[in-house]
């Protein structure tokens, strides 16, 4: 992705990271206020239902006590018992003795001439009958709730069911409705018929309509429902209070998010952090350039070369990221990742081909990290690979401090690893310390191989290596003439485009297996 596109993307994310928390805080403030408002309504409706349960339980208790009466119906003693039951219970207006639903006498009348009560609207599971009826013997129209059992009825004023004081400052009203008759038989304030019909027809438990919120709860056993409602004005006031709490929180989150996105932007723009992320994400891959025995043409192994894939499909040159890793102190992490990748790629293949090896490049800092030998020891055991199959390459800079490098190199060799001097001849002190180095192989730099025809340095390097009994690997072989010259001068191994470019693991294994296959029989 181009830098300008990346900046545009991050800028968009930055704007969203600022706006979203603030918008979210406003939404949360409204949601919190609405939930509290609905909870207040719901609690009030629940309290009305509790009151209803209490009143009904009191009526059932009265009827149960009346069933135990043994007196002569409507006698002085019997009427006294009926009055005691009615007067001792707060919510009962009248207790009535009936025969075939016709009132005979009551707690208010010694004898009654009222018309019979209609059939019950509902029978409860525990044997009680229930009515909502305007019938009374006082001559005025007023709905009463009636509960009956056997020869007794008790009358309850429905207003007592909704006579519940709301908590707080919100003005709440309630209405009781018959589930079957759809009759509003008790209400603290007039309930809109449209709201009642709308909630009943659609089975709504909650409705916001005409500036008010409505909550509906039912008592299936008694066949009634309660609707509680309140104007929405207190909700707006509550929302403003909630906003005072949530908005600063949203602004704080926006600032934190903005700082986080800016930090990500800096990380994206920081080469060190890009490299660190790539190492942590294991983005690096390893290619393998074959090393060939010049005398026989047989493959002897390969050099592992790290590659860093980029988002556009290209690869960043090691000449860029290796110095960056060294400068930023990440080179040891990169080396360890390359070692792990080599074993993941080639561990099984090396186990099957014990005569093959892979050489891995080390940086000077790797000599003092103290982590490479334990890492390689564990991987060698895991994959069943001999230490001699993993060679370690060091440039001349790795030997610049002999007091540091010599013990580390000795430890590698004691562990069974061959040690190469890479790019020999390009450093300023090659000749001064070559004879003192405890190494196995000298790699002749590509620049000397390219100059075979007009420079005389390469023969001297070869003779020096021979005198020190060092194996030689020539880098950068590209022509048949270079190959013939190096072979003639006794260089044992070589690598370069003449044989093959650096290959991904699958292509390398295919190429190596082809080279290792015996020639066809003639």
CB 294 within 8 A of CB 491: yes
Distances (CA, A) of 88 to 57, 91, 199, 409: 14, 9, 38, 104
Q: Are residues 314 and 214 in the same domain?
A: no
> How is residue 354 annotated by DSSP?
T
Can you say whether residue 134 is alpha, beta or left, with left for phi > 0 and alpha for psi between -120 and 50 degrees? alpha
Instruction: Residue count of the chain, please give it.
Output: 522
pLDDT in tens, 117-154: 889 888 888 899 988 888 766 666 778 889 999 999 99
Q: What is the pairing mode between strands 122-123 and 102-106? A: unpaired
- With respect to residue 522, please indicate whether it lies within any of the assigned structural domains: no
Residue 507: alpha-carbon gap to chain centroid: 38
Average pLDDT over residues 398-413: 79
Q: Are residues 215 and 286 in the same domain?
A: no
- With respect to residue 340, please indicate whether it lies within any of the assigned structural domains: yes
- Token pair 């809109």 is at which residue? 192
Boundary of a domain, candidates 269, 293, 312 = 269
Instruction: Give the CATH number, domain containing residue 362.
Output: 3.20.20.450
Maximum average pLDDT range among 10-14, 335-339, 434-438: 335-339
Average pLDDT over residues 506-514: 93
CB 299 within 8 A of CB 291: yes
pLDDT in tens, 310-333: 888 888 888 888 888 888 889 999
Boundary of a domain, candidates 235, 269, 303 = 269
Boundary of a domain, candidates 241, 269, 297 = 269
Q: How many domains does the chain have?
A: 2
SS (H, E, C) 50-96: HHHHHHHHHHHHHHHHHHCCCCCCCCHHHHHHHHHHHHCCCCEEEEE
From 9-13, 281-285, 341-345, 420-424, the region with the lowest mean pLDDT:
9-13
pLDDT beyond 90 at 274: no
pLDDT at res. 387: 96
Euclidean distance between CA atoms 220 and 318, whole angstroms: 79
Q: Are residues 299 and 183 in the same domain?
A: no
Report percent pLDDT > 70 for the chain: 80
pLDDT in tens, 43-54: 878 888 888 888
Q: Are residues 159 and 284 in the same domain?
A: no
Q: Are residues 260 and 310 in the same domain?
A: no
Of 190, 264, 280, the closest CA to residue 227 belongs to 190
pLDDT beyond 70 at 337: yes
From 54-68, 182-196, 325-339, 475-489, the region with the lowest mean pLDDT:
182-196
The pLDDT confidence band at residue 519, using thresholds 50, 70 and 90, is low
Q: Are residues 244 and 294 in the same domain?
A: no
pLDDT at res. 339: 96
Q: Are residues 182 and 281 in the same domain?
A: no
CB 33 within 8 A of CB 242: yes
In sequence order, what DSSP letters do the residues of 237-268 get, joined into one string?
A: HHHHHHHHHHHHHHHHHHHHHHHHHHHHHHHH
Q: Which domain holds residue 475?
A: 275-516
3-state secondary structure of 310: coil
Q: Are residues 263 and 351 in the same domain?
A: no
pLDDT at res. 495: 96
- Other beta carbons less than 10 A from residue 276's beta carbon: 18
Maximum average pLDDT range among 115-124, 259-268, 420-429, 491-500: 491-500
pLDDT beyond 50 at 410: yes
pLDDT in tens, 388-405: 999 999 887 666 667 777
> How is residue 192 annotated by DSSP?
P
From 211-225, 286-300, 493-507, the region with the lowest mean pLDDT:
211-225
Q: Are residues 325 and 465 in the same domain?
A: yes
Of 177, 184, 186, the closest CA to residue 223 belongs to 177
């Amino acid at each position: 992705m181009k830098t300008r596109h990346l900046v545009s993307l991050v800028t968009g994310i930055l704007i969203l990271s600022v706006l979203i928390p603030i918008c979210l805080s406003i939404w949360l403030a409204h949601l919190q206020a609405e939930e509290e408002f609905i909870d207040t309504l719901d609690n009030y409706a629940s309290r009305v239902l509790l009151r209803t349960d209490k009143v009904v339980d009191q009526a059932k208790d009265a009827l149960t006590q009346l069933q135990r009466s043994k007196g002569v119906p409507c006698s002085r003693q019997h009427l006294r018992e009926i009055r005691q039951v009615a007067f001792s219970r707060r919510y009962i207006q009248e207790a009535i003795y009936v025969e075939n639903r016709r009132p005979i006498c009551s707690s208010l009348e010694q004898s009654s001439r009222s018309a019979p009560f209609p059939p019950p609207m509902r029978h409860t599971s525990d044997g009680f009958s229930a009515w909502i009826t305007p019938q009374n013997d006082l001559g005025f129209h007023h709905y009463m709730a009636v509960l009956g059992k056997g020869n007794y009825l008790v009358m309850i004023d429905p207003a007592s069911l909704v006579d519940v004081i709301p908590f707080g400052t919100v003005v709440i009203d309630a209405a009781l409705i018959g589930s079957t008759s759809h009759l509003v038989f008790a209400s603290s304030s007039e309930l809109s018929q449209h709201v009642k019909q709308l909630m009943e027809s659609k089975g709504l438990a909650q409705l916001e309509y005409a500036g008010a919120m409505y909550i509906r709860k039912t008592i299936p056993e008694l066949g009634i429902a309660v609707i509680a409602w309140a104007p929405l004005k207190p909700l707006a006031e509550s929302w403003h209070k909630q906003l005072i709490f949530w908005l600063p929180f949203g602004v704080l989150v926006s600032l934190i998010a903005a700082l986080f996105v800016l930090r990500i932007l800096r990380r994206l723009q920081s080469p060190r952090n890009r490299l660190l992320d790539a190492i942590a994400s294991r983005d690096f891959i390893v290619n393998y350039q074959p090393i060939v025995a010049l005398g026989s043409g047989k493959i002897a192994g390969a050099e592992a070369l790290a590659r860093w894939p980029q988002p556009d499909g290209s690869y960043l040159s090691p000449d860029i990221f290796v110095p960056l890793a060294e400068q930023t102190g990440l080179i040891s992490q990169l080396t360890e990742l390359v070692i792990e990748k080599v074993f993941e790629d080639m561990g099984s293949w090396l186990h099957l081909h014990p005569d093959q090896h892979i050489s891995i490049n080390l940086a000077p800092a790797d000599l003092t990290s103290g982590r490479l030998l334990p890492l390689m020891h564990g991987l060698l055991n895991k994959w069943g690979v001999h230490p001699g199959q993993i060679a370690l390459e060091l440039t001349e800079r790795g030997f610049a401090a002999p007091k540091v490098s010599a013990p580390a190199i000795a430890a590698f060799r004691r562990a069974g690893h061959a040690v190469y001097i890479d790019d020999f001849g390009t450093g300023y002190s090659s000749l001064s310390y070559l004879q003192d180095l405890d190494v196995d192989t000298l790699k002749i730099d590509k620049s000397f191989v390219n100059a075979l025809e007009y420079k005389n340095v390469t023969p001297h390097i070869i003779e020096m290596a021979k005198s020190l009994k060092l194996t030689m690997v020539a880098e950068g072989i590209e022509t048949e003439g270079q190959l013939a010259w190096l072979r003639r001068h006794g260089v044992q191994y070589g690598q370069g485009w003449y044989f093959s470019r650096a290959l991904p693991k699958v292509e390398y294994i295919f190429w190596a297996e082809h080279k290792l296959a015996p020639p066809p029989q003639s």
